[in-house]
Amino acid sequence: MTDSSHKTFFFMGGLPRSGGTLLSAILNQNPSIYAGGQTDLIDLMVLLNFDVKQLESYKTKVREKGFENAKNQFAHNFYADIEKPIIIERNRGWGGVNGIHIAKTLNQTPKIIVPIRSILDILASFVTLANKYPNTNYIDNGISNADFPSKFYRPLDDVRCDYLMRPTGSLDCEIMHLYNLTKPEYKGIFHIVKYNDLITSPEETVTSIYKFLEIESYSHDLSNITKSYQEDEMATTGIPSMHQIRNTIDKSKTDYTKILSPYVINKYANALDFLDLGHL
């Protein structure tokens, strides 16, 4: 087994329904790279780096070196069973301020891959999934349990979109993380991967990632893409096909104009205009 202390960490944040699972499955073909599903490593490390300071023994510095060792080795131990030297750690929080801070403790010059897609395409994808699993999906369950007045007077698909885009909700926070891409102090640590580029020009897109990570490239089999893991989506999202991928790259045929109402399209069409990325 590879010595855990020799692992190199890179990161993947970005938006949901933007090709992150597909991209991870492609990169995972490389025998030197492990790119799996999303983990909560970032949250565990936030506890170690920030919340631990509230502990009495930390304040009294009884085992100050012990806490430092725990922080420094935690991520390596988390992936100690992985026999690959390069880890691409996935969590959409890596683009946030805390995520960047934690990433710097694992890689002095962190590199964060950021899959991104039109918000309208993302909302249309979520709505399609919610309609496919109307009795179990987490979106409808969240709406039912929340004090969300529009559920009484707007069509369900509109309410779903408003719920997904609600202030301080997960998607709103993930969009907020993208604002860090515009900050000069973070220049060079982000690499944007547009969903359309990944689908229409996968070889060029993957090559650009290798250049960004500054590691040796690899010849990927884009006609036989598989996942090395399987999430229990029913236990979390209630959507069994949430992170399914096709064996070959094929752009989703979802047309948001046929799924979303003019109300939703007009309301959220420019949600990412602050990034000035042109057509997504």
Q: DSSP characters for 108-152?
A: SS--EEEEE--HHHHHHHHHHHHHHSTTT-HHHHHHHHS--GGGG
Q: Using an 8 Å Cβ cutoff, are 140 and 130 in contact?
A: yes
Beta bridge partners of 89: 11
pLDDT of residue 5: 58
Residue 6 is predicted with a pLDDT of: 78
User: In the block, which residue shows the tokens 């409808």?
Assistant: 140
pLDDT of 277 above 90? no
Task: Give the full edge-to-edge strand order of the sheet including 86-90.
Answer: 33-34, 86-90, 8-12, 112-116, 190-194
Which of 43-47, 50-54, 126-130, 257-261 shows the lowest per-residue confidence on average (mean pLDDT)? 50-54
Tens digits of per-residue pLDDT, 54-111?
888 888 888 878 888 888 899 999 999 999 999 999 999 999 999 999 999 999 999 9
Q: Domain range holding 40?
A: 4-275
Average pLDDT over residues 139-160: 94
Q: What is the pLDDT of residue 68?
A: 82
Distance CA 41, CA 218 (A): 27
Confidence of residue 279 (pLDDT cuts 50, 70, 90): confident
CATH of the domain at 114: 3.40.50.300
Give domain status of residue 122, yes or no.
Answer: yes
- The per-residue pLDDT for 2 is 41
Q: Can you give the pLDDT at residue 253?
A: 67
Q: Please, what is the average pLDDT of the chain?
A: 92
Residue 17 reports pLDDT greater than 50: yes
Q: What are phi and psi of 176, to 5 degrees?
A: -60, -40
- Flag whether pLDDT at 53 surpasses 90: no
Residue 25 lies in a domain: yes
Asked whether residue 280 is domain-assigned, the answer is no
Q: Is residue 30 part of a domain?
A: yes
75: Cα separation from own chain's centroid: 18
Q: In whole angstroms, what is the distance from residue 107 CA to residue 103 CA?
A: 6
Alpha helix locations (H) across 133-221?
138-145, 156-164, 170-178, 195-200, 202-213
- Give the tokens for residue 99: 């995520």
- For residue 49, what pLDDT is reported? 81
What percentage of the chain reaches a pLDDT higher than 70? 97
Q: In angstroms, rounded to a whole number, what is the distance separating the alpha carbons of residues 202 and 193?
A: 10
Q: How many residues are present in the chain? A: 280
Q: Show the CA angle centred on residue 210, arms to residues 205 and 216, nearest 5°.
A: 140
Question: Does residue 201 sit within a domain?
Answer: yes
Residue pair 239/133 in contact by the 8 Å Cβ criterion: yes
Q: Is residue 156 part of a domain?
A: yes
Number of structural domains the chain divides into: 1
Does residue 171 lie in a domain region? yes
> Model-level pTM?
0.93
pLDDT band at 251 (very low <50, low <70, confident <90, very high): low
pLDDT tens track for 169-210 = 999 999 999 999 999 999 999 999 999 999 999 999 999 999
- Which residues, listed in sequence order, are joined to residue 8 by a DSSP beta bridge? 86
- Residue with the bigger pLDDT between 4 and 69: it is 69
Q: How many CA atoms lie within 13 A of 218 on its CB side?
A: 16
pLDDT band at 222 (very low <50, low <70, confident <90, very high): very high
